[in-house]
């Protein structure tokens, strides 16, 4: 697509406008004629190179793994340790006895959330350091489908609630409980000291 040339009337009109206009940058030399930009030179774009791909083969350069979000238990196990490492190891092995226990079995979300807030803040105020929150493992869903649904609403919600205000300031560490204290159906909640 080539540019058209300006007509004599257009050039004359431009000159009149340029004479009457106030310059924004007087230090730049003035040109009476409008500047025509040079045509851009076409650049050659390399053609994409396609490699053969077989069904079931992993894409090159990509690690072979599923794209599903890790479970709550996995993400809590992989989270960094905020408390004393030695005490954390003893806690994970079930060697430290929890000082308090909240059982959320059978509760709905609207009753479980206030009960959790009350329990954790009361436990922290009374000087407790390790408490156990039992959520249960949850029921398997009856409706299998293409979208995976997490098992156990409270089991997935409790760690999220503990990471949000007003509980975040009270909680130092959350980790799945040892099998002797409920395993994947319970969480150890290690509390901060009150100042």
In this predicted model, what pLDDT tens digit does every residue of 24-60 receive, in sequence order?
A: 777 777 665 556 667 777 777 777 777 776 776 666 6
pLDDT at 63 over 70: no
Contact 147, 139 (CB under 8 A): no
The model's pTM is: 0.61
What is the model's pLDDT at position 125?
94
**How do strand 130-134 and strand 186-191 relate by DSSP bridges?**
antiparallel
Contact 94, 178 (CB under 8 A): yes
pLDDT at 149 over 60: yes
Q: Helix (H) and strand (E) counts for the chain?
A: 5, 4
Nearest-angstrom CA–CA distance, 189 and 185: 13
What is the model's pLDDT at position 74?
79
**Higher-pLDDT residue of 108, 149:** 108
Contact 150, 156 (CB under 8 A): yes
pLDDT tens across 64-86, in order?
Answer: 555 567 777 778 878 888 899 99
pLDDT at 61 over 90: no
Find the mean pLDDT for residues 130-153.
76
Lowest mean pLDDT among 4-13, 44-53, 103-112: 44-53
pLDDT at 3 over 90: no
**Higher-pLDDT residue of 166, 70:** 166
Contact 172, 130 (CB under 8 A): no
Find the mean pLDDT for residues 170-181.
93
Find the mean pLDDT for residues 137-153.
68
């Amino acid at each position: 697509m080539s540019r058209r040339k300006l007509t004599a009337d257009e050039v004359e009109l431009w000159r009149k406008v340029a004479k009457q206009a106030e310059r924004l940058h007087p230090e730049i030399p003035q040109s009476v004629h409008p500047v025509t930009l040079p045509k851009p030179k076409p650049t050659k774009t390399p053609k994409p190179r396609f490699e053969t791909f077989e069904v079931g083969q992993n894409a090159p350069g990509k690690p072979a793994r599923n794209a599903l979000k890790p479970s709550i238990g996995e993400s809590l196990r992989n989270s960094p340790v905020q408390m004393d490492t030695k005490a954390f190891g003893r806690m994970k092995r079930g060697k430290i006895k929890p000082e308090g226990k909240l059982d959320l079995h059978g509760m709905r979300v609207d009753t479980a959330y206030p009960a959790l807030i009350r329990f954790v803040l009361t436990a922290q105020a009374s000087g407790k350091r390790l408490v156990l929150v039992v959520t249960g493992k949850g029921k398997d869903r009856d409706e299998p489908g293409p979208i995976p649904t997490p098992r156990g609403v409270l089991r997935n919600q409790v760690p999220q609630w503990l990471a949000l205000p007003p509980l975040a300031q009270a909680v130092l560490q959350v980790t799945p409980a040892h099998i002797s204290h409920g395993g994947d159906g319970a969480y150890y909640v290690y509390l901060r000291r009150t100042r």
